[in-house]
Homo-oligomer: A and B are copies of this chain.
Amino acid sequence: MSAVTIKEVAQLAGVSPSTVSRVISNNPKISSTTRKRVREAMIQLDYHPNIMAKSLVSKSTQTIGLVLPYSSDNLFINPFFSEVLRGMLAYANNKNYDLLLSSARNQSEELEAINRMVLGRRVDGVVLMSPNRDDRIVEKLMEYNFPFVLLGRSLEYPEVLSVNNDNIKASFDLTNFLLSQGHHKIGIVTGKPELVVSIDRLQGFKNALQKAGCVLNPDWIISAEMLEQNGYHTISMVMNAEDSPTAILVIDDVIAISLIRELVEAGFQIPRDISIVGFNNIYMSEMSNPPITTVDVGIYQLGYQTVQHLIRKLSGKEQNLPTQVIVPHRLIIRESTK
């Protein structure tokens, strides 16, 4: 394990450590001859700077922290997550930043992780994923005045930098599509009520129905949790009632896929008996049988732009950065609807 330091490079090149440091940081005051000599010494010794030492004095770690929300087990199952991570890594690594991951099983672990990262000066900035409705972490970071960005949006603090879809509009558009296909009895499978994204998508759905003058039958609001726990019973309850919806909007493609499976197993045909639409457009949405009509939220872009704006904020150069970045969505019409 080589442990060559700046001093050894300096010695070999016959200069002082300061000069080597300046060569590394491309300080223009160094003459091209010394610059060349130092460069050669660096290569010859296979020198790589010790980031810890560098960070200690420069107070910048070239690392951004990603804190996964607690109870994120579902998140991992969802391919949404890896795709968003891919986008984040793409931008970050391109700018020579690395990503530091922490997960947590509960709120106190989450705070602990944040403290390790932020107070331990281990990261320059933090990405918060799909924050909950009341988010103590957001408050804490604001209090510390520590740079962070939300993937999603905060209800309580709309002024913080966030990258998000216009989920209300997306849901509105998707519902309108169903309406335009002649459906006016539409149900919905909702996500966790503490997530802002669930709230927004439900809102857009309601907005569209209201605008179209449709009534929403309360029996047709199914929570994803209920679906998961009761499975078939939930479905039969809805579908075998005297009055049943002709289409269901599902908060997330993964859930839509499993709903479709339940329905098919129960003997329904899709979209003949009922139309199903989802959200996100993950890879599997196209592979599903039938392929799902959904709204593409630009998952990769969501991740990419999140760290893009964070890094911009960190550089501190540009003024008047936007505070609310919206990644556009678009409808993807496939065979799960008619």
Q: Which residues of the partner chain B approach A122 to less than 8 Å between Cβ atoms? A: 51-52, 98
Contact: A100 with B98, CB < 8 Å? yes
Query: Roughly how many angstroms separate A237 CA and B283 CA in the complex, as a whole number?
Result: 26
Query: Roughly how many angstroms separate A293 CA and B50 CA in the complex, as a whole number?
Result: 50
Enumerate A164-189 residues with CB–CB distance to B below 8 Å: none
Q: A1-B144, A55-B52 are in contact. Are A283 and B77 (CB under 8 A)?
A: yes
For residue A231, CB closer than 8 A to chain B, the reply is no
CB distance from A169 to the nearest CB of B (A): 27
Stretch at the interface among A111-119, A127-135, A204-212, A217-225: A111-119
Q: Which residues of the partner chain B approach A89 to less than 8 Å between Cβ atoms? A: 68, 101-103
Q: A115-B48, A144-B2 are in contact. Are A85 and B93 (CB under 8 A)?
A: no
Task: For the complex, count residues of A whose C-beta is within 8 A of B.
Answer: 59
Q: Which residues of the partner chain B approach A100 to less than 8 Å between Cβ atoms? A: 63, 98-101
Contact: A1 with B85, CB < 8 Å? no
Q: Which residues of the partner chain B approach A261 to less than 8 Å between Cβ atoms? A: 287, 289, 291
Contact: A50 with B103, CB < 8 Å? no
Q: Which residues of the partner chain B approach A85 to less than 8 Å between Cβ atoms? A: 76, 82, 101
Contact: A145 with B79, CB < 8 Å? no
Enumerate A27-68 residues with CB–CB distance to B below 8 Å: 46, 48-53, 55-56, 61, 63, 68
Query: Roughly how many angstroms separate A145 CA and B257 CA in the complex, as a whole number?
Result: 47
For residue A121, CB closer than 8 A to chain B, the reply is yes
Query: Roughly how many angstroms separate A109 CA and B2 CA in the complex, as a whole number?
Result: 21
Q: Which residues of the partner chain B approach A76 to less than 8 Å between Cβ atoms? A: 82-83, 85-86
